[in-house]
Amino acid sequence: MKLLVIGLGQCGGRIADEFARLNRKARSQRGMEILTDVFAVNSDAADLSGLTSVRKDFRHRILIGGRKTGGHGVGKINELGAEIAKEGADKVIDAIRTTRHFYETDAFLLIASGGGGTGSGSLPVMTQHIKERYMDKPVYSAVILPFEHEETTEERTVYNTATCLKSTYAAADAVFLIDNQRFIKKDASLQNNLTKINSLIAEPFYGILCAGEEKKPKYVGAKLLDAGDIMQTLVGWTVLGYGSSPLPLIRLPGERTNDFRKKGAETQKGIQAMDQAISELSLACDPADAGRALYLTSAPARELNVDMIKELGDYLRNLAPHAVIRNGDYPRQRGLLDVTVILSELGDVEKVRNYYTQATALIPVMKKRQEDTRVKLQAVEDTSKDIPSLL
């Protein structure tokens, strides 16, 4: 599957940068392209300058809202972010049209932070514009949810996230929910944390995208997981997870036997990888709420067998009893067995419901605070009315 990736705002741009790095990795290690192009869109010129993998020309690093923001961002006001996105949408569409292999694009993936300003406001607007322009291609959005400390210290973050989620859900074919808090490492520096988190967010897409673009016959799976399977799986609220188990790099001649212990150990490694993928889902949720699911098993060809695939399918069926499940294998990894899981069409997402509830409670508080400030300012103005002005 080939994606066209657009990162919006600081967070979205940096994750798009990671996708560009993954595409370079696929090109150098596997001789394939998994992205047709990568763009970063922002109202802050400094953020765009900090990217390393997105091409540096003005068509790939797109500055919007320059007249209103002076190239310095919107200051967490996502209404302003939405406004400048509407004005700059044509600039983004024009850049997309110049993509050399655009006709090979299977779907769009737009990425932004829900709690920011530019990304939060522009994500639903850009999603809607691209959806209206390219009706034959799915448009997926990835919303990065804020850290817990941001939610507790910045009311605006909760409000921005709720409005972004509601608006994006109405416009996109599917919305990937990615909770920053799930990836945080408390003993690492802020810079290292964010860099690692961005890498962990992008990494699970690698195998899923590569599997359908494989050109070498020996690496094509017995049950190929291609763009059609992915498109049929992705609907509404969506989460994904990735897990892996190490394997011996080299097997000695005659090492593979019919010994029941070794056979059981092989299957157990697959179960461990699946268990890790479920426990490391991008957002905590109940798999039983999923209406659709997908899993991809990747390992050296000699490690993949029918028993393992069946066990993994039974495992996921028990977790998501009502889901339509699709699966595939990809005999590509060396020294590793990994499993990527996608749960989609989630009927109930507690985290999203909490954002909506908190935002609903915040709106009257924010309005009252604004009114109180206006009244106080008016009182000061009234007190000074008899004082002559020097202007």
- pLDDT tens digit string along 213-231? 988 888 888 888 889 999 9
d(CA 200, CA 18): 9
Residue 250 confidence (pLDDT): 53
Sheet holding 139-145, edge to edge: 61-63, 35-42, 3-8, 107-113, 139-145, 174-179, 236-246, 336-344, 292-298, 324-330
Residue 373 confidence (pLDDT): 81
Within the chain, residue ranges assigned H as helices are 9-30, 45-49, 66-69, 78-97, 118-133, 148-153, 155-171, 190-202, 205-211, 227-233, 260-279, 306-319, 350-383
> Which stretch of 279-288, 314-323, 374-383 has the lowest confidence by average pLDDT?
374-383
The strand pairing partners of 177, in sequence order, are: 143
3-state secondary structure of 359: helix
Average pLDDT, the chain: 88
d(CA 106, CA 136): 9
HSE, side-chain direction, 13 A CA sphere, residue 66: 8
Mean pLDDT score, 27-32: 91
- Kindly state the percentage of the chain with pLDDT values over 90: 60
Q: Is the pLDDT of residue 347 over 60?
A: yes
3-state secondary structure of 295: strand
pLDDT tens across 130-143, in order?
Answer: 999 999 999 999 99
Q: Is the pLDDT of residue 185 over 70?
A: no
- CATH code of 235-344, in short, is 3.30.1330.20
pTM reported for the whole predicted model:
0.90
CATH 3.40.50.1440 domain locations along the chain: 3-203
Which residue would you say has higher pLDDT here, 263 or 356?
356
Residue 73 confidence (pLDDT): 79
Confidence of residue 249 (pLDDT cuts 50, 70, 90): low
Q: List CB contacts of 272: < 8 A, sequence separation 6 or more.
A: 243, 245
pLDDT tens across 251-308, in order?
Answer: 555 555 555 555 557 778 889 999 999 999 999 999 999 999 999 999 888 888 888 8
Mean pLDDT score, 346-366: 91
Q: Is the pLDDT of residue 1 over 80?
A: yes
**Start-to-end Cα distance in the chain:** 65
Question: What is the CA 111 to chain-centroid distance, rounded?
Answer: 6
Residue 188 confidence (pLDDT): 53
- CATH code of 3-203, in short, is 3.40.50.1440
CATH 3.30.1330.20 domain locations along the chain: 235-344
pLDDT tens across 51-106, in order?
Answer: 999 999 999 999 998 777 877 778 888 899 999 999 999 999 999 998 888 989 99
Q: Are 7 and 41 in contact (CB under 8 A)?
A: yes
Q: Could you give the angle at the alpha carbon of 43 between the alpha carbons of 167 and 364, nearest 5°?
A: 45
Q: Is the pLDDT of residue 171 over 80?
A: yes
Residue 380 confidence (pLDDT): 84
Residue 389 confidence (pLDDT): 78
Residue 65 confidence (pLDDT): 85
